[in-house]
Amino acid sequence: MNSTRKLWAGLAVLLIASFAVLLWVGSEVHRQAPPMPEAVVSQDGQILYTRQDIETGRQVWQSIGGQQLGSIWGHGGYVAPDWGADWLHREAEAILDIWAAREHGAASHKDLDAPTLAAYATRVQALMRPNTYDAATGAIQVDADRAQAMRQVAAHYQQLFGSDPAMRGLREAYAMREGTVPDPEHRRQLTGFYWWAAWSSVTLRPNEGISYTANWPYDELVGNTAPPSTFLWTVFSVLFLIAGIALLGWHYAVNHGDEMVPVLPKSDPLAAIEVTPSMRATAKYFWVVIALFLTQILLGAITAHYQVEGQEAYGFALADVLPYALTRTWHTQLAVLWIATAWLGMGLYIGPAISGHEPRFQRLGVNVLWACLLVIVVGSFVGQWLAVMQKLGLEHNFWFGHQGWEYVDMGRFWQWFLFIGLGLWLLLVGRALWPSIRGGGESRSIVTLLFLSTVAIGLFYAAGLMWGEHTHLSMVEYWRWWVVHLWVEGFFEVFAVAVIAFLFTRLGLLQVRSATVAVLFATIVFMAGGVLGTLHHLYFTGTPTAVIALGASISALEVVPLAYVGFEAYQSYRLGKATPWMAKYKWPITFFIAVAFWNLVGAGLFGFLINPPLPLYYMQGLNLTPTHGHTALFGVYGMLGIGLMLFCLRGLKPDVKWSDKLLKTSFWSLNIGLAGMAAFTLLPLGILQLNAALKHGYWYARSAEFMQQPIVDLLVWMRVPADTLFSVGALALAWFVLRLWVAPKRETPVSATAAAAATAIAPNR
């Protein structure tokens, strides 16, 4: 068996084993998830909440933006609090106030002496942590004092989510619009869902010494502290990381020599590719990429400004028509949509380019898919606006409105529409690639991997269809991360690696055999950490402790391929300088080099900062998370999407002179702007929050008291220069693309003498 077949066999075994474990974990999550009670009953028999109340409350929460307005179990927005953590601390303090008033005549527990407070803390933990769920009746029974505290906290939330003038200041701090939930009964039911999320995070699992959420969030008052397992598996995580990078370095040193072909082509081999009608039709995809990218930046600016003015923008009552929950929804959703559109357009362009075959009606399919994409974007956005403005109704929200799950917010109808569209994309790309796969040849393995990644991209979005309107929250989180992590971060990355490798081999700069081995090896390294690395998102979402052990051990390996990409960046740089005609591809390759940098910094450094269990226990849902999110999502996938788009545009407009000035402005403005966002706002704010969480508890780091400090406002305003520079980069890119079609400058034909001279010096470079 040759090395290529061994790698294929190894990849197949790895994927089968990894997905088998991931599916087993899913079954355990389903089995051990926090129970949903039929009723929550006080000792005197009063029903506080029914199951219907809690489930309807979740529907209400989803309809107002869900994870886009605050967070639940740490997943979601960062301006409003984590509602479970906030409720948990408020309920504990309400119980202490009840005891202080009854037993000491004090107006607040804060007026008591330290020994009494210490005794009360022990007592409140004994009240709140025991599991009183009765599996036989499906009821949770609570103490009379706790029931009274629950009513007080519920009253606070019912005022907050309504239009009570006394709560206007807090609504502004949380970037909530007035009358967020206009229906009083819906507000009451919403409090039931928030209580259940808090109950799950403090109540002990049966026969275990930790809560359903592994004692998250950190709050010493209720006894939520990091369990010993987080220390243990964090140590193992670091050891696995060191071992993985060491093995990768050894493999690279042993197996990678000079992979460049001995004799470089005298002219650009891609110039001979005939641009077919369907390839030419992909241009409109890249116009949409630019439009969505610019819109995302505008919405990002509005969303960031809401952190300073919670309901207004420079005096204009923006929240009345475009509230924070909506701008953040569209901002995060567009990030995935424009990047995915760039990659989808690249797939449609590269298929016929690889095979030289234009299937029948291919152009029609490309145009129909583009129209569907526009309908999905506009339709889903309209549905989300109607939902957040509470104009759609709960009965229609799940299918046509706002599902409330970060990155997969669109209604189920639009999800199905997108899945069908991806199926059409798979069909179009697959039938264009098929002649090359069937015909064999040296590049067959690379093309096959490209085709398989296309299949995975088309089919794995189905994970977003695996939950229903009332599926348990833990199971929704399990499937949601299949989409966000596996679909976006996994298979799209394999697709990109295969495309880049094919381009370099087709350009004649890499030997096909060595490139094939490198791509298969890179895919194995990506998937080794990537599939089970999904679990690091699920440590504290009501999942069993096995998730922490597996996730910590395997997710550390996610950083290893990022080091591998760092090695490849230098190789890309060498290839970009290999021959004079490669100057045509300078900027696509430059963006690929930026991908390697941000892979190392954004995905690697900032990713590993928050991924091990112990750090994540304290950092989940703080601004250190968007530090990783921004630098990884745009720095890696956004830069990669732009680089792939530029490769296609080079082929679509081969005779147009490119503006180095515009592309240089775009490249450096985007990169410096992204670095500025992280360095001047997200990272320092996250560090301040972490310090506050360690000192006072997670609830405080997310509270209005902390987030409305002058230093926080200053850090948010410090984003303005970086955001402005980033916007300049996007506008420069948009202007560059526009000029390719509007009044373009044509390349000056190179004389035969100059061409001969260039050919003569090429091998010496």
- pLDDT confidence of 386, banded at 50, 70, 90? very high
Instruction: Calculate mean pLDDT across residues 114-137.
Output: 95
Peptide bond into 359 cis (omega under 30): no
Query: pLDDT tens, 632-649?
Result: 889 888 998 999 899 999
Q: What pLDDT shows up at residue 576?
A: 62
Instruction: Calculate mean pLDDT across residues 649-666.
Output: 92
Instruction: Calculate mean pLDDT across residues 449-471.
Output: 89
- 565: pLDDT strictly greater than 60: no
- Rounded to whole angstroms, the Cα distance separating 574 from 230 reads 43
- 176: pLDDT strictly greater than 80: yes
- 334: pLDDT strictly greater than 50: yes
578 vs 629, more confident:
629
- Rounded to whole angstroms, the Cα distance separating 758 from 762 reads 6
Q: What pLDDT shows up at residue 761?
A: 32
- 507: pLDDT strictly greater than 50: yes
Burial of 469 (0-12, 13-18, 19+ CB in 10 A): middle
Edge-to-edge strand ranges of the sheet holding 133-134: 47-50, 39-42, 139-142, 133-134
Q: What pLDDT shows up at residue 610?
A: 87
Of 541, 615, 660, residue with least CA distance to 230: 615
Q: What pLDDT shows up at residue 611?
A: 85
- 556: pLDDT strictly greater than 70: no
Q: What pLDDT shows up at residue 104?
A: 93
Q: Which residues contact 129 (CB under 8 A, 6 or more apart)?
A: 202, 203, 204, 211, 222, 223
Query: Measured at the alpha carbon of residue 266, what is the angle toward residues 263 and 269, in degrees to the nearest 5?
Result: 100
Q: What is the mean pLDDT of the chain?
A: 88
Query: pLDDT tens, 693-738?
Result: 999 999 999 999 999 999 999 999 999 999 999 999 999 999 999 9
Q: What pLDDT shows up at residue 757?
A: 37
- pLDDT confidence of 1, banded at 50, 70, 90? low
Helical H segments across 316-361, by residue range? 324-355
Fill in the DSSP letter of residue 117: H
> Distances in Å between the alpha carbon of 1 and those of 7, 13, 449?
10, 16, 19
Instruction: Calculate mean pLDDT across residues 560-576.
Output: 58
Q: Tokens 């021959």 map to which residue?
A: 579
Coil, helix or strand at residue 673: helix
Q: What pLDDT shows up at residue 524?
A: 81
- Please state whether 482 falls in left (phi above 0), alpha (psi between -120 and 50) or beta: alpha
Q: What pLDDT shows up at residue 80?
A: 95
Bridge partners, residue 72, by sequence:
75
Q: What pLDDT shows up at residue 442?
A: 61
Instruction: Calculate mean pLDDT across residues 180-191.
Output: 97
219 vs 596, more confident:
219
Instruction: Calculate mean pLDDT across residues 292-298.
Output: 96
Element at 580 (helix H, strand E) = none
Coil, helix or strand at residue 403: coil
Element at 140 (helix H, strand E) = strand 139-142
pLDDT > 70 fraction of the chain, expressed in percent and rounded: 91
- The amino acid sitting at 744 is P
Q: Where are the domains of the chain?
A: 33-213
- 494 neighbors 525 (Cβ within 8 angstroms): no
- 436: pLDDT strictly greater than 70: yes
Strands 39-42 vs 139-142: parallel, antiparallel or unpaired? parallel
Q: Name the pTM for this structure.
A: 0.92
- Rounded to whole angstroms, the Cα distance separating 577 from 590 reads 11
Q: What pLDDT shows up at residue 514?
A: 73
Q: What pLDDT shows up at residue 259?
A: 54
- 403 neighbors 409 (Cβ within 8 angstroms): yes
Nearest-Å Rg of the Cα atoms of the chain is: 27
- 651: pLDDT strictly greater than 80: yes
- 751: pLDDT strictly greater than 50: no
Query: pLDDT tens, 15-63?
Result: 999 999 999 999 999 999 999 999 999 999 999 999 999 999 999 999 9
Strands 71-72 vs 75-76: parallel, antiparallel or unpaired? antiparallel
- pLDDT confidence of 131, banded at 50, 70, 90? very high
- Rounded to whole angstroms, the Cα distance separating 243 from 240 reads 5
